[in-house]
Amino acid sequence: MANHLLRRIFQSALILLGVSFITFFLLFVLPADPVRQIAGRSATPQTVANIREQLGLDQPFVVQYGRYLIGLFQGDLGRSYLQKTDVSTLIAARLPASLLLMGAGIICELVIGLAMGLVAALWRGRVIDKTLMMTSFVTVSAPQFVVSLLLLYFFAVKLGWFPIGGYGTFSHLVLPALTLGILGSGWYARMMRSSMIEVMRADYVRTARAKGLSRARVVLRHAVPNAILPIIAMIGIDIGIFMGGIVVVEGVFGWPGIGQLAWQAIQRVDIPIIMGVTLVSACAIILGNLLADFITPFIDPRIRIR
Amino acid sequence: MKRLLISTALVMALGAPAFAQDYTPDPNAKSGGGIVVTYKDDVATLDPAIGYDWQNWSMIKSLFDGLMDYVPGTTELRPGLAESYEISEDGMTFTFHLRAGVKFHNGREMTADDVKYSLDRVTTPATQSPGAGFFGSIMGYDAMADGSAASLEGVTVVDPLTVQIKLSRPDATFLHVMALNFASVVAKESVAEAGDDFGHHPVGTGAFKLGEWTIGQRLVFEKNADYWRAGLPYLDTVTFEVGQEPIVALLRLQNGEVDVPGDGIPPAKFTEVMADPEQAARVVEGGQLQTGYITLNVTNPPLDNVDVRKAINMAINKDRITQIINGRAVPATQPLPPSMPGYTDGYAGYAYDIDGAKALLAGAGLADGFDTELFVMNTDPNPRIAQAIQQDLAAIGVRASIQSLAQANVIEAGGAGTAPMIWSGGMAWIADFPDPSNFYGPILGCDGAVEGGWNWSKYCNEDLDAEATAADSMTDPAKVGDRMAMWSDVYMEVMEDAPWVPVFNEQRYTMKSKRMGGADNLYVDPVSIPVNYDYVFVTE
């Protein structure tokens, strides 16, 4: 177990290193100059050259990347070019909001998605199945912007049940979390449906039914826990997405998450922030997967960590 | 009328020590209360030496003061921290007399040392100020820029309330430069205390001081009770909520939660808002010192042929493009916007004339047209405008493929000179100060035509550069009229060479809540965008 953990941590570090290299390289070859963004439109060529030199952006790729890595190993994510603040401070300020929305979003996704998938699987081929699968198709393809705005418009503006965006209380959290839940539920519904259908065909389910257990008990006690197994891995990926990529939902609900920070940084080629956010979301994906790895054996005794 | 006002202002401002007429505050203005302003983008910094975004520009104006200032709602210069000033006969030495008893937010009195420190700070390369180049006419600037000096030679503290600034060349725009945010006076000890983080802990002499700043969420400006302009500001607080989509800001405004949506009315909602008399009544319209244009790269064949560039000028249907943005602009005839001094009245520009354009192309041996590329920033409405341009060009046989990219990539392509044509929307030039020279150097002059410069046409006419320099050397207030005539001439010459297609001048539309008071021009202030926070008030 300890060995396995060490190996996984080592692998994760390698993955992070790879992510940092690829991202840094892509930003290096990108045909957009961060110095231009800092210097602005009125700068003289001399100002531009000064800034380039001060930030070390006149150095070759290897030197720039090497410097970044050295900082990284010392726990230094660098300073934002435009905000002139430590990237770690900027990310830390937005982390609580991102974590909260991530947690709430995943719970909503699971509740909505798993329920839809379960019902669809149990009534496979019926109208309800087709309706639910159609719905899941719509939700996975619905644009974030439209769903967010629709929910905001009806529940906040028209009905006044929730505040029109913002951050702070539970009622601020409901609509953005629900939006994420609806948008992501389709994937879970589809996976849950196929997983359930497969499990329901399994021998142990037939055995359970043969020994006279009620349908409800068979489904809830034997089928569902097994059907959920492959889905746990998906949560790990969602964690990563939610830590860096829910720009639109954050924007509509005025949620001060990391996505907004990343989006603005990308617009202005603020490389240290882009790197920082990428690494944080990569860490989140890795942690999420690690967590999934360690939880699975507790749910499914067949899987043992060697 | 507005032109007249501006030139009068210039005459008066330059005619030291006479001053432009100051602002008469609204007699009905009430003190107290607070307003909420929203923005989509987070505020990057409030350091006046660094801030150059359009949302922090007016915030910084309210936190800091410079020696010069503008009469609210106008482009007229008025004295700021300087009570008065004198200009030497040769126009090369400015002596500013500071107001006594002006206090920084930290309670200390502001002196001439702070003025000198602030100018040294903004021009030191270590500050990385995007505005350093504006101070190029101050003696000793070059030594600062190349790092060989630690202090501007031309700036002298005569006594605690007098500062003298010597120039190395005549500069008719110098008083405007001293009114730029970059020339704001900062408290030295507060900069030292905050270190690199002054942008998050700003200390100035302005009407408001920074109360709270929760990164990514909100900033609260609190009234500076010791503000040196008596009775100002009216508001106790201004709360900026950031990270909000313009469309949500509008919904919140309609719900009474927001007073000013800083990013304006979203294009998709514009028609709806204007169709509702109640809402339309709360929209203030004003001009802005902005021009939207297409750059034609004069180094890129066949655009190196002036006839081809003229043909393209004649092919663009500007009225249709204006309609695409719901008429929120007026078609442009020349580089300068109409409210800028030096604008040439009565010049009609290139008329929309497809046959004439085709004839010009045929004369250039391009009767079959040619293939080219049009670069455009990828946010609405710019790609739609690019499509309209593409169709207009197709009508004369020019086949343009659209390259729709992120802003930074378009700027890069423009600077590198690899883009044959660029639609400037989203990156268009907005004047830093109301003077025609600000529309020339970086975007049409030889200085900007270098690798990485903002002159995306790569147009460089040495004769015009000389004329521009000559115009800016005319510091005699009595010759403002001549100076403006020279600038008008420069831009007419530019139109003859046709490196640009001037397309439109965007209008500004600011919406406000019912309870907001103050003259309309405070809401379309040409300098404090979107709102002059120091002078507006709430009526309830």
**Mutation target among A27, A28, A44 for the B interface, most CBs of B within 10 A:** A44
Q: Which residue has the higher pLDDT, B228 or A8?
A: B228
B370 touches chain A (CB under 8 A): no
Nearby residues of B365 by Cβ (< 8 Å), 6 or more positions away: none
3-state secondary structure of B508: strand
**Mutation target among A29, A84, A175, A249 for the B interface, most CBs of B within 10 A:** A84
Is B133's CB within 8 Å of A157's CB?
no
Place of tokens 């020590």: B17
Place of tokens 């003229």: B310
Q: Which of residues 41-60 of A touch B (CB under 8 A)?
A: 41-48, 50-51, 54
Is B412's CB within 8 Å of A268's CB?
no
Chain A CB contacts of B437 under 8 Å are none
Nearest CA-CA distance, residue B192 and chain A, Å: 15
Nearest CA-CA distance, residue B362 and chain A, Å: 36
**Mutation target among B217, B272, B290, B440 for the A interface, most CBs of A within 10 A:** B217
User: Would the pLDDT of B13 be above 50?
Assistant: no
pLDDT per residue as tens digits for the range B110-134: 999 999 999 999 999 999 898 888 9
pLDDT band for B4, please (50, 70, 90 cuts). very low
Task: Report the share of chain B in percent with pLDDT over 70.
Answer: 96
Is B128's CB within 8 Å of A33's CB?
no
Nearest CA-CA distance, residue A232 and chain B, Å: 32
In this structure, the number of other CB atoms found within 10 A of the CB of residue A159 comes to 9
What's the mean pLDDT when you consider all of chain B? 90
Nearest to A269 among B44, B408, B450 (CB): B408
Nearest CA-CA distance, residue B346 and chain A, Å: 30
Question: Per the structure block, which two tokens stand in for B237?
Answer: 């607080």
B406 touches chain A (CB under 8 A): yes
B268 touches chain A (CB under 8 A): no
B216 touches chain A (CB under 8 A): yes
In the prediction, which pLDDT does B234 show? 95
Q: Which of residues 434-493 of B touch A (CB under 8 A)?
A: 442, 447, 450, 452-454
Packed helices A224-244 and A170-201: angle between N→C axes, nearest 10 degrees: 140
Place of tokens 């201004």: B238
Longest dimension (CA), chain A: 85
Nearest to A54 among B128, B252, B454 (CB): B128
What single DSSP character describes residue A156? I
Question: Per the structure block, which two tokens stand in for B481?
Answer: 């009229």
User: Would the pLDDT of B11 be above 50?
Assistant: no
pLDDT band for B7, please (50, 70, 90 cuts). very low
Task: Work out how many CB contacts closer than 8 A connect A with B.
Answer: 145
* Omega before B17 within 30 of 0, i.e. cis: yes
Chain A CB contacts of B432 under 8 Å are 42
Chain B CB contacts of A47 under 8 Å are 125, 128-130, 132-133, 145
Report DSSP letters for A27-57, one per residue. HHHSS--HHHHHH-TT--HHHHHHHHHHTTT
In the prediction, which pLDDT does B12 show? 39
Nearest CA-CA distance, residue B12 and chain A, Å: 27
Q: Phi, psi at residue A288, to the nearest 5°?
A: -60, -45
User: Would the pLDDT of B326 be above 70?
Assistant: yes
B194 touches chain A (CB under 8 A): no
In the prediction, which pLDDT does A303 show? 66
Nearest CA-CA distance, residue A251 and chain B, Å: 6
Using CA atoms, how far apart are residues A57 and A81, in angstroms rounded to an integer? 11
Q: For chain A, which residues score pLDDT lower than 50?
A: none
Q: Identify the helix (H) or strand (E) that includes residue B261.
A: strand B260-261
Using CA atoms, how far apart are residues A298 and B190, in angstroms rounded to an integer? 57
The residue of chain A with its CA nearest to that of B196 is: A84
Give CA torsion, residues A255, A258, A262, A268, to 10 deg: 60
Between strands B371-377 and B421-423, the pairing is parallel
**Mutation target among A42, A89, A100 for the B interface, most CBs of B within 10 A:** A42
Packed helices A87-122 and A127-141: angle between N→C axes, nearest 10 degrees: 160
Identify the burial level of B18 via C-beta atoms within 10 angstroms of its C-beta, where 0-12 means exposed, 13-18 middle and 19 or more buried. Answer: exposed
Nearest CA-CA distance, residue A10 and chain B, Å: 34
The residue of chain A with its CA nearest to that of B251 is: A157
pLDDT per residue as tens digits for the range B519-538: 998 998 888 877 899 999 99
Are B29 and B517 in contact, with CB atoms under 8 Å apart? yes
pLDDT band for B463, please (50, 70, 90 cuts). very high
Nearest to A93 among B50, B199, B215 (CB): B215
Q: What predicted TM-score, i.e. pTM, was given to this entire model?
A: 0.88
A26 touches chain B (CB under 8 A): no
Question: Per the structure block, which two tokens stand in for A65?
Answer: 């990347």
Is A79's CB within 8 Å of B125's CB?
no
Place of tokens 């915030």: B59
Q: Residue A202 pairs with which residues in a beta bridge?
A: none
User: Would the pLDDT of B443 be above 80?
Assistant: yes
Q: Phi, psi at residue A44, to the nearest 5°?
A: -80, 160
Q: Measuring CA to CA, which residue among A137, A119, A118 is closest to residue A128?
A: A119
pLDDT (average), residues B507-526: 90
Q: Any idea where the domains of chain A sit in the sequence?
A: 2-73, 93-299
Nearest to A252 among B45, B132, B245 (CB): B245
Using CA atoms, how far apart are residues B446 and B282, in angstroms rounded to an integer? 44
Using CA atoms, how far apart are residues B488 and B334, in angstroms rounded to an integer? 10
B411 touches chain A (CB under 8 A): yes
Domains of chain B in sequence order: 31-63+206-286+509-540 (3.40.190.10), 65-190 (3.90.76.10), 290-506 (3.10.105.10)
Q: Which of residues 227-266 of A touch B (CB under 8 A)?
A: 250-257, 260-261, 264, 266
Report DSSP letters for A183-197, one per residue. HHHHHHHHHHHHHHH
pLDDT (average), residues B289-293: 92
* Omega before B170 within 30 of 0, i.e. cis: no
User: Would the pLDDT of B18 be above 60?
Assistant: no
Chain A CB contacts of B122 under 8 Å are none
Nearest CA-CA distance, residue B323 and chain A, Å: 26
In the prediction, which pLDDT does B21 show? 56
Q: Please, what sign has the CA dihedral across residues B25, B29, B33, B39?
A: negative
A89 touches chain B (CB under 8 A): yes
Is A45's CB within 8 Å of B452's CB?
yes
**Mutation target among A41, A51, A76, A150 for the B interface, most CBs of B within 10 A:** A41
Using CA atoms, how far apart are residues B259 and B250, in angstroms rounded to an integer? 10
Q: Which of residues 8-37 of B touch A (CB under 8 A)?
A: none
Here the ipTM equals 0.85
The fold of A93-299 is MetI-like fold (1.10.3720)
B270 touches chain A (CB under 8 A): no
Packed helices A170-201 and A127-141: angle between N→C axes, nearest 10 degrees: 130
In the prediction, which pLDDT does B38 show? 94
